[in-house]
Amino acid sequence: MRTNPLITLTTDFGLDDPFVGVMKGVILTVAPRAQIVDLSHGIPPHDLKEAALTIGTNYRFFPAHTVHVVVVDPGVGSERRPILVIAGRHYFIGPDNGVFSFVYEREIASLRVIHITASRFFLREESPTFQGRDVFAPVAARVARGMHFMNFGAPISDFVKSELPKPKLGRNALRGEVIHIDRFGNCMTNIRRSEIDSLARLHPAATFRPFFRRKEVPLKKFYAQAKDEALCAVINSSDYLELFVNRANAAELFRISIGDIVEMKRNA
Protein backbone atom coordinates (compact mmCIF):
# COMPACT_ATOMS: atom_id res chain seq x y z
CA MET A 1 0.00 0.00 0.00
CA ARG A 2 1.13 3.57 -0.63
CA THR A 3 2.27 5.16 2.64
CA ASN A 4 -0.13 8.08 2.61
CA PRO A 5 -2.90 7.44 0.13
CA LEU A 6 -4.98 10.58 -0.40
CA ILE A 7 -8.55 10.70 -1.72
CA THR A 8 -10.68 13.79 -2.36
CA LEU A 9 -14.46 13.85 -2.60
CA THR A 10 -16.56 16.30 -4.64
CA THR A 11 -20.32 15.75 -4.67
CA ASP A 12 -23.72 17.42 -4.72
CA PHE A 13 -24.72 15.45 -1.59
CA GLY A 14 -24.57 18.29 0.91
CA LEU A 15 -23.53 17.50 4.47
CA ASP A 16 -26.88 17.01 6.19
CA ASP A 17 -27.50 13.50 4.85
CA PRO A 18 -25.10 10.67 5.77
CA PHE A 19 -24.14 9.94 2.12
CA VAL A 20 -20.62 11.36 2.39
CA GLY A 21 -19.91 9.68 5.72
CA VAL A 22 -21.01 6.32 4.33
CA MET A 23 -18.70 6.65 1.30
CA LYS A 24 -15.86 7.26 3.76
CA GLY A 25 -16.83 4.13 5.70
CA VAL A 26 -16.58 2.06 2.52
CA ILE A 27 -13.25 3.64 1.55
CA LEU A 28 -11.72 3.09 5.00
CA THR A 29 -12.87 -0.53 5.07
CA VAL A 30 -10.73 -1.18 1.98
CA ALA A 31 -7.95 1.38 2.60
CA PRO A 32 -7.76 1.96 6.37
CA ARG A 33 -4.85 4.37 6.10
CA ALA A 34 -6.32 6.64 3.44
CA GLN A 35 -6.61 10.35 4.17
CA ILE A 36 -9.90 11.67 2.82
CA VAL A 37 -10.37 15.37 2.03
CA ASP A 38 -13.72 16.95 1.22
CA LEU A 39 -13.16 19.26 -1.72
CA SER A 40 -16.81 20.32 -1.85
CA HIS A 41 -20.17 18.75 -1.16
CA GLY A 42 -21.97 22.00 -1.88
CA ILE A 43 -22.27 21.57 -5.64
CA PRO A 44 -25.91 22.44 -6.45
CA PRO A 45 -27.85 19.19 -7.13
CA HIS A 46 -27.02 17.81 -10.61
CA ASP A 47 -24.96 20.90 -11.60
CA LEU A 48 -22.35 19.30 -13.86
CA LYS A 49 -20.78 22.63 -14.92
CA GLU A 50 -20.09 23.71 -11.36
CA ALA A 51 -18.67 20.27 -10.54
CA ALA A 52 -16.45 20.30 -13.64
CA LEU A 53 -15.15 23.75 -12.68
CA THR A 54 -14.52 22.77 -9.04
CA ILE A 55 -12.45 19.68 -9.78
CA GLY A 56 -10.85 21.20 -12.90
CA THR A 57 -9.41 24.28 -11.19
CA ASN A 58 -8.38 22.65 -7.91
CA TYR A 59 -6.93 19.17 -8.39
CA ARG A 60 -3.48 20.64 -9.04
CA PHE A 61 -3.22 21.78 -5.39
CA PHE A 62 -3.08 18.14 -4.25
CA PRO A 63 0.01 15.93 -4.37
CA ALA A 64 0.73 13.54 -7.23
CA HIS A 65 -1.17 10.20 -7.06
CA THR A 66 -4.16 11.75 -5.31
CA VAL A 67 -7.42 9.99 -6.21
CA HIS A 68 -10.25 12.45 -6.89
CA VAL A 69 -13.78 11.06 -6.67
CA VAL A 70 -16.57 13.17 -8.18
CA VAL A 71 -20.20 12.16 -7.77
CA VAL A 72 -22.53 14.59 -9.50
CA ASP A 73 -24.65 12.33 -11.56
CA PRO A 74 -28.14 13.02 -12.83
CA GLY A 75 -28.13 9.64 -14.61
CA VAL A 76 -27.23 7.33 -11.73
CA GLY A 77 -27.95 3.67 -12.44
CA SER A 78 -28.56 4.22 -16.16
CA GLU A 79 -26.35 3.14 -19.04
CA ARG A 80 -23.99 5.98 -18.24
CA ARG A 81 -20.55 4.41 -17.61
CA PRO A 82 -18.39 4.70 -14.48
CA ILE A 83 -14.85 5.77 -15.46
CA LEU A 84 -11.34 6.03 -14.07
CA VAL A 85 -9.23 8.81 -15.58
CA ILE A 86 -5.45 8.90 -15.30
CA ALA A 87 -4.17 12.37 -16.12
CA GLY A 88 -1.22 14.53 -15.07
CA ARG A 89 -0.17 12.08 -12.33
CA HIS A 90 -3.61 12.28 -10.69
CA TYR A 91 -6.51 9.80 -10.72
CA PHE A 92 -10.15 10.75 -11.22
CA ILE A 93 -13.14 8.48 -10.61
CA GLY A 94 -16.75 9.28 -11.43
CA PRO A 95 -19.51 9.07 -14.01
CA ASP A 96 -18.80 9.49 -17.73
CA ASN A 97 -20.99 12.57 -18.08
CA GLY A 98 -18.47 15.27 -18.91
CA VAL A 99 -17.66 16.17 -15.31
CA PHE A 100 -13.93 15.82 -16.02
CA SER A 101 -13.94 17.99 -19.17
CA PHE A 102 -11.64 20.66 -17.67
CA VAL A 103 -9.21 17.92 -16.69
CA TYR A 104 -9.24 16.45 -20.23
CA GLU A 105 -8.44 19.85 -21.66
CA ARG A 106 -5.56 20.59 -19.31
CA GLU A 107 -3.99 17.12 -19.33
CA ILE A 108 -4.57 16.15 -22.95
CA ALA A 109 -0.95 15.03 -23.28
CA SER A 110 -1.12 12.34 -20.60
CA LEU A 111 -4.74 11.28 -20.68
CA ARG A 112 -6.07 7.73 -20.26
CA VAL A 113 -9.68 6.85 -19.60
CA ILE A 114 -10.79 3.42 -18.36
CA HIS A 115 -14.37 2.17 -18.40
CA ILE A 116 -14.80 0.64 -14.93
CA THR A 117 -16.37 -2.79 -15.38
CA ALA A 118 -14.67 -4.94 -12.72
CA SER A 119 -17.80 -5.54 -10.66
CA ARG A 120 -15.94 -7.94 -8.36
CA PHE A 121 -14.68 -4.80 -6.58
CA PHE A 122 -18.14 -3.26 -6.23
CA LEU A 123 -20.06 -3.35 -2.97
CA ARG A 124 -23.09 -4.62 -4.86
CA GLU A 125 -23.31 -5.92 -8.40
CA GLU A 126 -26.25 -3.64 -9.16
CA SER A 127 -26.46 -0.26 -7.55
CA PRO A 128 -29.82 1.30 -8.25
CA THR A 129 -29.39 4.68 -6.59
CA PHE A 130 -26.00 5.09 -4.89
CA GLN A 131 -23.02 4.38 -7.13
CA GLY A 132 -20.87 6.70 -5.02
CA ARG A 133 -20.99 4.17 -2.22
CA ASP A 134 -21.24 0.94 -4.20
CA VAL A 135 -18.92 1.57 -7.17
CA PHE A 136 -16.79 4.72 -6.90
CA ALA A 137 -15.78 4.41 -3.21
CA PRO A 138 -14.49 0.81 -3.31
CA VAL A 139 -12.68 1.42 -6.62
CA ALA A 140 -11.14 4.66 -5.33
CA ALA A 141 -9.88 2.88 -2.22
CA ARG A 142 -8.16 0.23 -4.35
CA VAL A 143 -6.58 2.79 -6.67
CA ALA A 144 -5.38 4.69 -3.60
CA ARG A 145 -3.81 1.49 -2.26
CA GLY A 146 -1.83 1.24 -5.48
CA MET A 147 -3.77 -1.32 -7.53
CA HIS A 148 -2.94 -0.87 -11.23
CA PHE A 149 -5.61 0.85 -13.31
CA MET A 150 -5.77 -1.96 -15.84
CA ASN A 151 -7.49 -4.12 -13.20
CA PHE A 152 -10.67 -2.03 -13.40
CA GLY A 153 -11.58 -2.27 -17.10
CA ALA A 154 -10.52 -1.46 -20.64
CA PRO A 155 -9.41 1.90 -22.08
CA ILE A 156 -11.99 3.90 -24.02
CA SER A 157 -11.68 6.94 -26.26
CA ASP A 158 -15.33 7.88 -26.73
CA PHE A 159 -15.74 9.36 -23.26
CA VAL A 160 -18.06 12.36 -22.91
CA LYS A 161 -16.56 15.84 -23.24
CA SER A 162 -18.74 18.86 -22.45
CA GLU A 163 -18.39 22.23 -24.08
CA LEU A 164 -17.00 24.56 -21.47
CA PRO A 165 -18.08 28.19 -21.67
CA LYS A 166 -15.11 29.94 -23.31
CA PRO A 167 -14.70 33.67 -23.77
CA LYS A 168 -15.17 34.86 -27.36
CA LEU A 169 -12.55 37.00 -29.07
CA GLY A 170 -13.95 39.89 -31.11
CA ARG A 171 -12.12 42.69 -32.88
CA ASN A 172 -11.92 45.01 -29.93
CA ALA A 173 -12.96 42.87 -27.01
CA LEU A 174 -12.71 39.52 -25.28
CA ARG A 175 -16.24 38.65 -24.22
CA GLY A 176 -16.59 36.33 -21.22
CA GLU A 177 -19.17 35.57 -18.58
CA VAL A 178 -19.59 34.99 -14.83
CA ILE A 179 -19.18 31.26 -14.15
CA HIS A 180 -19.05 31.07 -10.34
CA ILE A 181 -20.15 33.19 -7.38
CA ASP A 182 -18.55 32.36 -4.03
CA ARG A 183 -19.76 32.77 -0.44
CA PHE A 184 -18.33 36.30 -0.30
CA GLY A 185 -20.24 37.36 -3.42
CA ASN A 186 -17.09 37.49 -5.55
CA CYS A 187 -17.98 36.79 -9.20
CA MET A 188 -15.45 34.71 -11.10
CA THR A 189 -15.52 34.93 -14.89
CA ASN A 190 -14.23 32.47 -17.50
CA ILE A 191 -11.55 34.94 -18.69
CA ARG A 192 -8.12 33.63 -17.74
CA ARG A 193 -4.96 35.58 -17.07
CA SER A 194 -3.25 33.82 -19.98
CA GLU A 195 -5.98 35.00 -22.36
CA ILE A 196 -5.57 38.60 -21.21
CA ASP A 197 -1.82 38.24 -21.73
CA SER A 198 -2.34 36.89 -25.28
CA LEU A 199 -4.57 39.85 -26.03
CA ALA A 200 -1.78 42.20 -24.95
CA ARG A 201 0.73 40.39 -27.17
CA LEU A 202 -1.62 40.50 -30.18
CA HIS A 203 -2.24 44.22 -29.81
CA PRO A 204 0.94 45.63 -28.30
CA ALA A 205 -0.16 49.22 -28.88
CA ALA A 206 -3.55 48.89 -27.23
CA THR A 207 -4.72 48.63 -23.62
CA PHE A 208 -7.56 46.35 -22.61
CA ARG A 209 -9.72 47.01 -19.56
CA PRO A 210 -12.55 45.14 -17.83
CA PHE A 211 -16.10 46.30 -18.61
CA PHE A 212 -19.37 45.25 -17.00
CA ARG A 213 -22.75 46.62 -18.16
CA ARG A 214 -21.05 49.19 -20.42
CA LYS A 215 -19.00 50.66 -17.58
CA GLU A 216 -15.30 50.26 -17.00
CA VAL A 217 -14.44 48.33 -13.84
CA PRO A 218 -11.11 49.33 -12.24
CA LEU A 219 -8.61 46.46 -12.21
CA LYS A 220 -6.87 46.02 -8.81
CA LYS A 221 -4.02 43.80 -7.59
CA PHE A 222 -5.85 42.65 -4.45
CA TYR A 223 -9.15 43.21 -2.66
CA ALA A 224 -7.93 45.74 -0.08
CA GLN A 225 -6.77 48.12 -2.84
CA ALA A 226 -10.36 48.89 -3.78
CA LYS A 227 -12.46 51.71 -2.41
CA ASP A 228 -15.42 50.61 -0.32
CA GLU A 229 -18.66 49.98 -2.25
CA ALA A 230 -17.02 50.25 -5.66
CA LEU A 231 -17.29 47.35 -8.09
CA CYS A 232 -13.75 46.37 -9.04
CA ALA A 233 -11.95 43.55 -10.82
CA VAL A 234 -8.95 41.41 -9.89
CA ILE A 235 -7.11 38.43 -11.36
CA ASN A 236 -7.99 35.98 -8.61
CA SER A 237 -6.01 33.18 -7.00
CA SER A 238 -7.24 30.70 -9.65
CA ASP A 239 -5.93 33.09 -12.36
CA TYR A 240 -9.38 34.12 -13.58
CA LEU A 241 -10.76 37.65 -13.90
CA GLU A 242 -13.15 38.27 -10.99
CA LEU A 243 -15.55 41.08 -10.05
CA PHE A 244 -15.64 42.04 -6.37
CA VAL A 245 -16.48 44.72 -3.84
CA ASN A 246 -14.01 45.19 -0.99
CA ARG A 247 -15.41 43.76 2.27
CA ALA A 248 -18.86 43.41 0.73
CA ASN A 249 -20.97 41.10 -1.42
CA ALA A 250 -20.66 42.20 -5.07
CA ALA A 251 -23.23 39.69 -6.36
CA GLU A 252 -25.89 41.02 -3.99
CA LEU A 253 -25.01 44.71 -4.27
CA PHE A 254 -24.93 44.68 -8.08
CA ARG A 255 -27.37 41.77 -8.62
CA ILE A 256 -24.84 39.79 -10.60
CA SER A 257 -25.77 36.25 -11.72
CA ILE A 258 -24.05 33.28 -13.31
CA GLY A 259 -23.97 33.94 -17.08
CA ASP A 260 -23.70 37.75 -16.88
CA ILE A 261 -21.38 39.15 -19.55
CA VAL A 262 -17.97 40.60 -18.60
CA GLU A 263 -15.59 41.96 -21.23
CA MET A 264 -11.99 42.98 -21.64
CA LYS A 265 -12.35 45.95 -24.02
CA ARG A 266 -9.88 47.92 -26.05
CA ASN A 267 -9.33 51.43 -24.94
CA ALA A 268 -11.12 53.80 -27.32
- Residues making contact with its own copies (CB under 8 A): 3-4, 6, 8, 10, 12-22, 24-26, 28-29, 32-33, 35-42, 45-46, 54, 58, 61-63, 66, 74-78, 80, 126-130, 133-134, 182-184, 186, 221-225, 234-237, 242, 247, 249
For the bound state, the minimum distance from the C-beta of residue 184 to its own copies, rounded and expressed in Å, comes to 6
For the bound state, the minimum distance from the C-beta of residue 159 to its own copies, rounded and expressed in Å, comes to 18
Nearer to its own copies, 173 or 238 (CB): 238
Q: What is the sign of the dihedral through the CA atoms of 237, 239, 243 and 246?
A: positive
For the bound state, the minimum distance from the C-beta of residue 4 to its own copies, rounded and expressed in Å, comes to 4
Query: Which of 180, 176, 184, 189 lies closest to 253 in space, CA to CA?
Result: 184
Contact 218, 234 (CB under 8 A): no
Nearer to its own copies, 155 or 222 (CB): 222
Nearer to its own copies, 58 or 175 (CB): 58
Contact 139, 230 (CB under 8 A): no
For the bound state, the minimum distance from the C-beta of residue 66 to its own copies, rounded and expressed in Å, comes to 8
| Residue 33 burial (CB count, 10 A) | 12
Nearer to its own copies, 115 or 266 (CB): 115
Where are the strands (E) in 104-207, listed by range?
Answer: 112-116, 153-155, 168-169, 173-181, 187-192
- The three-class DSSP label of residue 69 is strand
Nearer to its own copies, 51 or 267 (CB): 51
